[in-house]
Each structure stands twice: as structure tokens, then as C-alpha cells.
């Protein structure tokens, strides 16, 4: 499975009022492995950044003045993400800007070239309801160092988000994916299939102390929401898989 973690920096918050993309960072995952095959562009937007946006990313008009226009990098970006699943934090923001940039060039929407989009912000809100779920907050929660992140940068943020995503999705189901990925990498598309029945997955039961600590945590969540937290409710039966 090929996935691309993507982030952008922009001149402001609204593509509909003329704000533009000024930086794009893409980090490639292949079967849940970082490949090092990344893509990064600075883009000359042809306009100044809003003061608030400039304070976030620090990319001045002077710095961007000799960088390529979006039209000069659009084809390479499209080819790089073509057919991949995109992983983005707050995906509607970045996808909206990229669709707008492609629209200005008279091209089909950017979103038409990927196989799907995973929004890690939506997933984080589901996993940690009522908590801060910014990229910085998730790095802290998963023990990922972001000490070198003094300003937002598209490539750096994509690299951090890749680690966050892998941490968010690491479980017994990802162990199966990892094993399948290793078999695929070893022999390409002709590698022998791994039968799920043949996988001897260990099941580690929680100790009495761990169960007690878990109940205490749930009691605290119930108290915080003044009712029954979602972690105590029975999951609904899913009729069919939902595509993100």
C-alpha cells in the first residue's frame, strides 16, 4: 500500500479570497514503512502572506520571490501522489487549497488523482474526544519529539505527522499489515500470499493491576463528561466498510 503524508503552508486561510499555496511537503509510506522518497517545494504565490500566516510559517515574500510558480510544479506533484492514499491533518484545508490551485490552471481537481484521503484530525478527535488534537498535542501524547519545530514547515510537519499516524494506527491489525508488507517487499507482486489462518498472533491478557488502572481511567472519563464515556458503550455493528 502506497500512502503519502502531505502538508501545505499558505499565504492565509481562505483560497476563495485569493490566498495561495507557498510550500508543499510530501512523505512516502510504502506498506507502513518510510521510504525516504519525499517531495518538497517552495512556491512563489505572487502575493504577500497575511501577517498572521507569516508569523506561523516565516516564509517571506522576498524568500519566495525566486521560487517556481505553482504551474511549474503541478505536474510533478500530481505524478508523485497519483493513485496513492493521502494522509493529511485537517484534510479539507489542504485539499481545498490544492484543488483551487489546480483549478486556476484549468486542470482537474487535485483530489481526483489520489485513491482516497485519511484525515488524522478526524481520527484523533474520535480517539481522544474533548482533548487538544493539534499536531503538537499529538506529538506530546505519543512521545514524538518536535523540539526542532519552532515554525511550521510543510516537510517537517509531514515527517512528524507520519510518525503520529504510525503511532495512532499501531496495533495487532497493523502487525498483520506489516507482515503482509514484508512478504510483498521480498517478492514484489509475485510474492506468495500470507494466509491469515497461518498467522500465530500472541494474545496478551491484562493483569489485575492493569485492569484496575483501566477501570480507574474510565471512571475519571465518566466523571469528566458527567455521564458514561464512549469507551464504556458497546460498538455498533458495522454492515459494510466505510471508505474515508
| Active-site residue list | 152
Beta pairing, strands 116-119 & 21-30 = unpaired
User: CA angle, corner 9, sides to 129 and 170, nearest 5?
Assistant: 40
Site of grid cell 502531505 = 6
DSSP secondary structure code for residue 192 in this structure: P
Instruction: List the alpha helices (DSSP H) in 115-207.
Output: 120-127, 135-142, 154-168, 172-187
For residue 88, which phi and psi values (nearest 5 degrees)? Answer: -140, 140
Whether 153 and 23 have beta carbons less than 8 Å apart is answered as yes
Task: Return the C-alpha torsion angle 206, 207, 209, 215, nearest 10.
Answer: 30
Residues with Cβ within 8 Å of residue 180, at least 6 apart in sequence: 31, 194
79-to-55, 82, 83, 84, 144 alpha-carbon distances in Å: 32, 5, 9, 10, 31
Single out the residue of 146, 155, 133, 144 nearest to residue 6, CA to CA: 155
Amino acid at each position: 500500500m502506497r500512502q503519502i503524508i502531505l502538508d501545505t503552508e499558505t499565504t492565509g486561510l481562505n483560497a476563495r479570497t485569493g490566498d495561495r499555496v507557498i510550500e508543499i511537503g510530501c512523505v512516502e509510506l510504502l506498506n507502513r514503512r518510510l521510504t525516504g522518497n519525499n517531495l518538497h517545494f517552495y512556491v512563489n504565490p505572487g502575493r504577500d502572506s497575511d501577517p498572521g500566516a507569516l508569523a506561523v510559517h516565516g516564509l517571506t515574500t522576498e524568500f519566495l520571490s525566486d521560487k517556481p510558480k505553482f504551474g511549474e510544479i503541478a505536474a510533478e506533484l500530481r505524478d508523485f501522489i497519483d493513485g496513492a492514499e493521502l494522509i493529511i491533518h485537517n484534510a479539507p484545508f489542504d485539499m481545498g487549497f490544492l484543488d483551487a490551485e489546480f483549478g486556476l490552471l484549468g486542470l482537474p481537481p487535485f483530489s481526483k488523482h489520489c485513491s482516497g484521503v485519511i484525515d488524522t484530525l478526524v481520527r484523533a478527535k474520535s480517539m481522544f474526544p474533548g482533548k487538544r488534537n493539534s499536531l503538537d498535542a499529538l506529538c506530546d501524547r505519543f512521545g514524538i519529539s518536535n523540539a526542532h519545530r519552532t515554525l511550521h514547515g510543510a516537510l517537517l510537519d509531514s515527517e512528524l505527522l507520519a510518525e503520529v499516524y504510525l503511532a495512532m494506527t499501531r496495533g495487532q491489525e497493523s502487525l498483520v499489515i506489516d507482515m503482509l508488507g514484508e512478504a510483498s517487499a521480498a517478492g514484489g507482486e509475485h510474492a506468495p500470499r500470507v494466509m491469515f489462518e497461518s498467522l500465530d498472533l500472541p494474545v496478551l491478557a491484562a493483569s489485575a493491576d492493569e485492569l484496575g488502572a483501566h477501570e480507574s481511567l474510565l471512571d475519571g472519563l465518566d466523571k469528566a463528561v458527567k455521564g458514561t464515556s464512549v469507551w464504556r458503550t458497546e460498538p455498533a455493528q458495522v454492515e459494510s466498510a466505510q471508505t474515508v
